[in-house]
């Protein structure tokens, strides 16, 4: 077990660009706008603590496989750290660092009393049985036990992790702690201490942002066309909610194995049932097949990247035709892409605003766990709407005031709050 890596090695994430390098560039841009001191920038650019673990797991065939896992606390100036755990074959320590930084800005922007963290395991859950996944999940908790806790660092789901995995992790933690500890993790099934409304919270929060953006830009969402890259938790719920809340028309969706297009619109629930049977949306009846790159360039009103980092880069940004890009994924645009899209007048709702509904309802889940008192779904939705609408308005107004893009404005908002607290606490 190696605590606090000394060598900040640069590992490439998906699609070539290192996401932690992207974070560094984004901090530099914000530092120029806010004229931040070198000391402040030095703190903002480094994770506070990292835990690297090797996790032996008995596989179904009797062999033992050793998995690499990580947990990074990026910055805890605002409080208990918070952020998901990703299971992915392309996971790297730099991806986890970048995601933990974005969690820090996200919690700050939404005015939550939380810092940012992230975890990950390099594994391919699609190739693993339920038993193997359960043993891996429990073993990860044993390995990081002393690094997490309801009053210290609270994980949640991310790409390829789900409520069942959260339940195993909560159970393992509770067994070791010798007491029920529902507040150690969020995104649990409702029956095991989860919050109603957490399942679609990421997408729903994004919808509130799209609604606010469309109001300001004068776009009628009734009948508006939508393309969604990614059909996991965020992408699927976005497809459902776009038609349920706005009567918008989802014309294209894709996942890691392929994509589908139908100009008359797709029924998200039917596509989801098909994917459950076949493993992919690809091949869904009465649709044209479309690859993920072409999907991004469709002439739609709203484009929703809901998959991985680096989907839109300097290579394809100039070909994007959507009026609004709603980033449900973390880090789907590179800084070069941001500049191109801003110059082309495309309204980008940045990730740590657009997808913050997930952590916001996770925060509500923590509050409910700690109070042992659970809320109604309408209450959760109302509170989520209020949080998202305020955050969107603040970012939009800051972008107008400074003449900067929405991501830079979100940085200005989030970093200003963190720096203020770091100063009050005496860190700088
Ligand atoms: N993984 C999600 C995110 O990136 C949720 C984090 C949480 O609920 O703590 O925001």
The sign of the dihedral angle between the CA atoms of 174, 162, 125, 48 is negative
Cα of 106 from ligand 1 centre, angstroms: 9
> Does 359 sit in the ligand 1 pocket, CB within 6 Å?
yes
Q: Is residue 408 part of a domain?
A: no
Q: Is residue 255 part of a domain?
A: yes
For residues 71 and 182, membership in a common domain is answered with yes
Cα of 84 from ligand 1 centre, angstroms: 5
Q: Which atom of ligand 1 is nearest to the CA of 102?
A: 4
Q: Is residue 394 part of a domain?
A: no
Of all protein residues, the one whose alpha carbon is nearest to atom 7 of ligand 1 is 359
The pLDDT of residue 10: 35
For residues 224 and 302, membership in a common domain is answered with yes
- Based on the structure, what is the number of domains in the chain? 2
For residues 205 and 70, membership in a common domain is answered with no
Nearest to 226 by CA among 315, 136, 135, 328: 328
For residues 210 and 157, membership in a common domain is answered with no
> Does 355 sit in the ligand 1 pocket, CB within 6 Å?
yes
The pairing of beta strand 302-305 with beta strand 225-229: parallel
Q: What is the best residue among 19, 71, 79, 84 to mutate for testing ligand 1's pocket, by most ligand atoms within 8 Å of CB?
A: 84
The pLDDT of residue 1: 33
Q: Is residue 388 part of a domain?
A: no
For residues 327 and 248, membership in a common domain is answered with yes
Cα of 158 from ligand 1 centre, angstroms: 6
> Does 186 sit in the ligand 1 pocket, CB within 6 Å?
yes
Secondary structure (DSSP) of 366-410? HHHHHHT----HHHHHHHHHHHHHHHHHHHHHHHHHHT--HHHHH
Cα of 91 from ligand 1 centre, angstroms: 16
Q: Is residue 171 part of a domain?
A: yes
For residues 98 and 213, membership in a common domain is answered with no
Q: What is the best residue among 73, 359, 360, 369 to mutate for testing ligand 1's pocket, by most ligand atoms within 8 Å of CB?
A: 359
Long-range CB pairs of 210-213, under 8 A, 24+ apart, other chains included: 210/246, 210/302, 210/324, 210/326, 210/349, 211/245, 211/246, 212/388, 212/389, 212/392, 212/393, 212/396, 213/324, 213/326, 213/347, 213/349, 213/392, 213/396
The pLDDT of residue 12: 38
> Does 153 sit in the ligand 1 pocket, CB within 6 Å?
no
For residues 106 and 175, membership in a common domain is answered with yes
Q: Is residue 400 part of a domain?
A: no
> Does 249 sit in the ligand 1 pocket, CB within 6 Å?
no
Separation between Cα atoms, residue 263 and residue 225, nearest integer Å: 9
**Domain edge (last residue) among 314, 330, 354:** 354
- DSSP 8-state secondary structure symbol assigned to residue 138: H
For residues 309 and 249, membership in a common domain is answered with yes
**Domain edge (last residue) among 192, 227, 252:** 192
Phi, psi torsion values for 125, nearest 5 degrees: -60, -25
Q: Annotated catalytic residue: which of 12, 45, 65, 118?
A: 118
For residues 232 and 311, membership in a common domain is answered with yes
For 296, the domain range is 201-354
The pLDDT of residue 17: 86
Cα of 186 from ligand 1 centre, angstroms: 9
The pLDDT of residue 15: 53
For residues 79 and 126, membership in a common domain is answered with yes
For residues 247 and 294, membership in a common domain is answered with yes
Q: Is residue 65 part of a domain?
A: yes
Cα–Cα distance list, 361 to 174, 350, 365, 371 (Å): 22, 19, 6, 15
For residues 78 and 216, membership in a common domain is answered with no
46 part of the active site: no
Q: Is residue 259 part of a domain?
A: yes
Q: Which residues lie closer than 8 Å to 43 by C-beta, 6 or more apart?
A: 75, 422, 427, 428
> Does 259 sit in the ligand 1 pocket, CB within 6 Å?
no
Report the CATH number that the domain containing residue 281 is assigned in CATH.
3.40.50.720
> Does 161 sit in the ligand 1 pocket, CB within 6 Å?
no
Report the CATH number that the domain containing residue 178 is assigned in CATH.
3.40.50.10860
Cα of 399 from ligand 1 centre, angstroms: 25
Contact 345, 318 (CB under 8 A): no
Cα–Cα distance list, 418 to 23, 288, 364, 387 (Å): 16, 47, 21, 18
**Domain edge (last residue) among 354, 381, 401:** 354
Mean pLDDT by 10 residues, the chain (428 residues): 34 65 96 98 98 98 98 98 98 97 98 98 98 98 98 97 98 98 98 98 98 98 98 97 98 97 98 97 97 97 96 97 97 95 97 98 98 98 98 98 96 98 98
């Amino acid at each position: 077990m190696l605590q606090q890596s000394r060598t900040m090695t640069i590992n490439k994430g998906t699609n070539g660009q290192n996401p932690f390098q992207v974070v560094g560039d984004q901090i530099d841009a914000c530092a120029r706008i806010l004229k931040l001191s070198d000391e402040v920038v030095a703190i903002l650019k480094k994770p506070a603590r990292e835990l690297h673990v090797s996790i032996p797991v008995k596989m179904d065939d009797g062999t033992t496989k050793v998995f690499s896992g990580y947990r990074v606390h990026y910055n805890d100036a605002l409080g208990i750290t918070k952020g998901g755990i990703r299971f992915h074959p392309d996971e790297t320590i730099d991806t986890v660092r970048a995601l933990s930084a974005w969690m820090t800005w996200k919690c700050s922007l939404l005015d939550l009393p939380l810092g940012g963290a992230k975890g990950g395991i390099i594994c391919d859950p699609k190739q693993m049985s339920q038993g193997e996944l359960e043993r891996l999940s429990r073993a990860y908790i044993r390995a990081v036990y002393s690094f997490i806790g309801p009053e210290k660092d609270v994980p949640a789901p991310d790409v390829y992790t789900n409520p069942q995995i959260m339940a195993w992790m909560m159970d393992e933690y509770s067994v070791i702690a010798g007491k029920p500890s529902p507040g150690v993790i969020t995104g649990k099934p409702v029956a095991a201490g989860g919050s109603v409304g957490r399942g679609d919270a990421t997408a729903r929060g994004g919808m509130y942002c799209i609604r606010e953006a469309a109001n300001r830009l004068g776009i009628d969402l009734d009948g508006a066309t939508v393309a969604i890259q990614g059909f996991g938790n965020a992408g699927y719920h976005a497809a459902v909610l776009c038609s349920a809340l706005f009567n918008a028309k989802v014309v294209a969706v894709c996942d890691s194995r392929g994509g589908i297009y139908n100009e008359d619109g797709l029924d998200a629930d039917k596509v989801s049932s098909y994917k459950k049977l076949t493993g992919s949306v690809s091949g869904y009846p009465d649709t044209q097949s479309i690859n993920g790159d072409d999907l991004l360039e469709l002439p739609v009103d709203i484009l929703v990247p809901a998959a991985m980092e680096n989907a839109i880069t300097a290579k394809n940004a100039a070909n994007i035709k959507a009026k609004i890009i709603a980033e449900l994924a973390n880090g789907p645009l590179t800084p070069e892409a941001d500049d191109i899209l801003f110059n082309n007048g495309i309204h980008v709702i940045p990730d740590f605003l657009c997808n913050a509904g997930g952590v916001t309802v996770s925060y509500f889940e923590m509050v409910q766990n700690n109070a042992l008192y659970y809320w109604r779904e309408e209450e959760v939705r109302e509170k989520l709407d209020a949080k998202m609408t305020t955050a969107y308005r603040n970012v939009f107004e800051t972008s107008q005031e400074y003449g900067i893009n929405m991501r830079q404005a979100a940085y200005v908002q989030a970093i200003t709050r963190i720096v203020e607290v770091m100063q009050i606490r005496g860190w700088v």
